[in-house]
Chains A and B, each alone.
Chain A
Amino acid sequence: MSTTQTYMHVSQSSDSAPLLEVRDLKTHFETGRGRVKAVDGVSFSLNKGRTIGIVGESGSGKTVLSRSVMRMLPRHGVINDGQLIFDGQDISDYTDEQMRRIWGAQIGLVSQDPMTSLNPVVRIGRQITESVRLHLKIDKGQANEMAISILKSVAMPEPERRMRSYPHELSGGLRQRVTIAMALACGPKLIIADEPTTALDVTVQAQILDLLGSLQRERNMAMILITHDLGVVSDRCDEIAVMYAGKIVERAPTKYLFSNMKMRYTQALFESIPKLNAPSNVPLRAIEGRPPDLVNPPLGCSFAPRCAYADERCHTLEPPLMAAETPGHVFACWNPVGGMPPPPAHMVERLGVKPVREEKFFKS
């Protein structure tokens, strides 16, 4: 067992059985240019009714991760590895046929662009009733009533009238309410929301996120909330995982992620956000450059080429996930904010060595 996995194990909470467990998930694509390691060894678990936020820049693998969890990947050229346990079942090798019982009914998806999940030439009402009737054995009339009540629950103004609208007749915010309604229609246990508000105004974003939060509490659903903006997840998630170049580089309960941020990439993401309490007209601390090409990721820490704190070691040796001082908190960084935490006593005992301290690996 690798050190990484040992640490991951330590950080897991054990109070109740997780609804979703993702273990060392890998999704690679064979392309003309070589193998794209879009998701490369991701592990986390999510309990019933809880929310995990997954944060990272475009191209960091967030969408591929959510598609992998749903097992909605292209048929060809995909290498998929790792374990997915959903609600007690190992779905790692489920066929599309088997997944069809889970999509919609057990796991609902809300994506960034509602226009891609809505059929532009079908009225809203029919889209909802059809997806409901696919999973629940009810007649047209019942499905109709149910659709109206779902639209009401997502605070759609004039739901009866909206049933007859086409998607393009609605604003971006109302369209997103429709996709949420559809994702909720069959009472799933898990909602995956992939950048659900990125294309929307801040006011509408706040409404939609409030709505998702209250529906989630009401129905005790778990949620994976994916975004590029740390601001969006800061008050809406129990736990946050930061993703970079296909890997989770820091994961912590929300309050610890902000009070004891360790990984330099998390810090850089945080600092690049314009803040209302910051003075006007001062330069932002932007992260220069772009995330790496996932065909040829850099040696060592994949953030090293853009990191202001990178040293020799960062360019040659990849940091594993290490335990922070705060409980349930792991990070992968050689020069963390606030310095390297002391190794936890039980780790030293168990491994019989001082785990992942610089002396062990490097002497330059």
Chain B
Amino acid sequence: MSPEKILKVENLVVTFPAGAGKKVHAVSDVSFELAKGETLGLVGESGCGKSTTGRAIMQLIRPAQGSVNFEGSDLTRVKGKELRRIRQGMQIIFQDPISSLNPRRRLKDIIAEPLDIWSKLESEERYDRVREMCDQVGLDFESVKDRRPHEFSGGQCQRISIARALMLSPKLLICDEPVSALDVSVQAQILNLLRVLKSKYDLSMIFIAHDLAVVKNISTSVAVMYLGRICETADSDTFYTNPAHPYTKALLESVPEPDPSLIGSEGKMRLSGELPSVIDPPSGCKFRTRCPYSQDICAIQEPELVEISAGHKVACHFPISR
């Protein structure tokens, strides 16, 4: 029997109006599942639809099509109070923690905020809970409680947003580039913290990032997105030993290796050009304008996401094999 799923996203489509009655597809036909206790790394360049997917799962943006099953309900079909109640079970943290925190409030009230909406705890109990969460994320409650966000470093603000996200004991935590803006030393602290909290609170996670080395450290499975679509997905072991999509290869070879002896820097695959606009995407395979393996058929026919081995799916006419 397969492990219990906490989240099942099926055929998710998110569109935005693009003027003149046109629509852009920011997310096209994205499907994946997340088993309890797992971490899915959602990877790709800026603008490829990772954050939009995260927000559409939370219903912060309503998807145009598809379903988001979370703990037995399809979130796309519920609204209002019911939606808010179910959504307590999922929380999101963002890349830029400082601007996502209210600059005028004190730290203890920022962290307590989720409680104000959902439960009428007495202030004693509220702050007890805040104190406990501060402790969990490595902040000293007494010395930080009355400060405001600008007094903290980026890493500390990320700890604050994690504490706040965990106040209502969520089951799913969506982390949208939580370490991309941090120094490598602080990045390691936050990755370790997330790993500890995940097992302590039985969390499942979606970890959005663009650096595949970071994702490898924290994820049990990986999905790579390009221009609104998933182009490769597999469990981490398979993914990192047998990457098959040319875009995955380019992402892997762009990771800066911190050791010159590991680098055969000549002949590394580099992406030329920019991510094409979603307003006017290429025909056929969306990656073909930057793909060194592209053939005629790539411009004509869009490759489907097919399973090439158990759980390993790739959307490419000419997947790379070892």
Contacts and interface: CB of A to CB of B under 8 A. Distances in A.
Interface of A: 57-58, 157, 171-174, 199, 201-207, 209-210, 228-232, 234-235, 254-255, 258-259, 268-270, 272-278, 280-288, 290
Contacts, number: 145
Interface of B: 45-47, 153-155, 181, 183-189, 191-192, 195, 210-214, 216-220, 236-237, 240, 250-263, 265, 268, 270-275
A231 B189 CA distance: 18
7 contacts: A58-B154, A199-B181, A229-B258, A234-B259, A235-B265, A258-B259, A280-B240
Given A228-B184, A283-B192, A284-B192, A234 B260 contact: yes
A286 B185 contact: yes
Contact of A171 (B46, B188, B271): B46
Given A272-B185, A277-B262, A286-B188, A234 B256 contact: yes
B147 to A, nearest CB: 15
Given A57-B185, A280-B220, A274 B271 contact: no
Contacts of B212: 202, 276
A57 B274 contact: no
A255 B260 contact: yes
B216 A274 contact: yes
A232 B256 contact: yes
Nearest to B196: A283
Contacts of B213: 273-276
B45 A203 contact: yes
B46 A201 contact: yes
Given A229-B256, A284-B191, A202 B211 contact: yes
Given A274-B216, A283-B195, A206 B273 contact: no
Contact of B251 (A173, A203, A209, A232): A203
B183 A228 contact: yes
Contact of B254 (A58, A172, A203, A259): A203
A44 to B, nearest CB: 20
* For the complex of A and B, 3 pairs with smallest distance between CB atoms: A231-B256, A286-B188, A231-B258
Given A203-B254, A274-B214, A287-B188, A235 B263 contact: yes
A259 B261 contact: yes
